[in-house]
Amino acid sequence: MGHRDPPYTYSGPIAMADLDDNASCVYVQRHPSTRTRWERWGENSPANIAKRITLPFHAPTAESRQEAKSQCLHDLIAGAVAGSAGVVVGHPFDTAKLRMQMASHSSTSLASALQLNGLMRGIAAPFAMAAFVNASIFTTFGETSRLWDHHVGNAADSIHCRENSIEKNLVCGGVTGVTSSLILAPTEHIKCKMQAGSEVYANSLDAGKSIWKSHGVRGLYRGLMATCLRQAPGFSIYFANYDIIKSRLGESWVASIVAGGTAGSLSWAVVYPIDLLKSKIQVLPLTVPSSERSLWNVARGVWRQGGWRSLYHGIGITVLRAFPVNAIIFPTYELTLACVRNWG
């Protein structure tokens, strides 16, 4: 066999040996002095059997460390560009969603929520943070995925690489969700205050300053727990479904658009009730006692208004918003990432 890149690349520090073009999966098992790799051959392989190769273990080199830093920087840049594009597309829908969530009755129509007046209100806070937030999201997911590949993901006890990939996306997506909450909670608190219009602020910066002066860091981070409960499962579902759908559709830009939009809509459909409760907590006046704005108390109040259906008030606009936003984010991320790598 000639020397060529394998069809499935392991991202660890070892050098790849010769692989046949029809190899469909690679498994790696760590030993004290060696790494063992199994190739699972494709269905069309003449023998359709596994082949075992043992390679010496090599510690990470200066080159591999530099490559890891470059990958991190590429994730930062691509995530920043993709996030900014997503905010511009999604903010009007996001404002309409909040209007429907805050309505006292379920008869508020989508048409009335989408009235042009004030649809872009509050965009300054999320747009200013969009680059940073999404850069951190894709960087965190990229780094945790590489750590998974290095320490867990290609272990020999992983029977199927697809199962291993789903497990990796669920775990790494959850970690990404919790991490992103530390940035999103104060940003979304300010955004919700501006969109609801329940308190008078000149702009997003004024709202942030006012909350900081009156209630400090705790005030800015109001709704953090609800944000974590939304983000962790949301990103687990998001990245796992994107990978599954994209693997079935192929590597085209159309596949990225469909996979990104569908994964985004599915994840929001699952976590929507938590998002509704988070929004209600964050639009409450800052002077409301902690017992009244707890997640459990707010959930009980929503349930009393109309049962379980009240938890899904506004879900239509949310799922509708999620498709174009995420259909833009993933292709933009992948396109930017490819450009950055070519420039680098």
| Digit-coded pLDDT (tens) for 176-215 | 999 999 999 998 999 888 877 767 788 888 989 999 999 9
Q: In the chain, which residues have pLDDT < 50?
A: 1-58, 110, 113-114, 155-159
Whether 88 and 214 share a structural domain: yes
26 is in which domain, residue-wise? 1-59
Whether 21 and 168 share a structural domain: no
Whether 37 and 140 share a structural domain: no
Q: What is the pLDDT of residue 105?
A: 54
Whether 98 and 143 share a structural domain: yes
Domain boundary among 20, 41, 59: 59
Nearest to 225 by CA among 180, 260, 185: 185
In our burial notation (b when 16+ CB lie closer than 10 A, e otherwise), range 171-196 reads bbbbbbbebbbebbbbbbbbbbbbbb
Whether 6 and 118 share a structural domain: no
Q: What is the total count of domains within the chain?
A: 2
Q: What is the pLDDT of residues 207-222, one digit of tens each?
A: 899 999 999 999 999 9
Whether 266 and 308 share a structural domain: yes
Classify the C-alpha dihedral 205-210-211-212 as positive or negative. Answer: positive
Domain boundary among 41, 59, 77: 59
Whether 36 and 101 share a structural domain: no
Q: What is the pTM of this model?
A: 0.72
Whether 192 and 302 share a structural domain: yes
Kindly report the number of other CB atoms within 10 A of residue 111's CB atom.
Answer: 8
Long-range contacts of the stretch 35-43 (C-beta < 8 A, 24+): 36/156, 37/10, 38/156, 40/161
Whether 177 and 298 share a structural domain: yes
Whether 188 and 297 share a structural domain: yes
Q: What is the pLDDT of residue 53?
A: 38
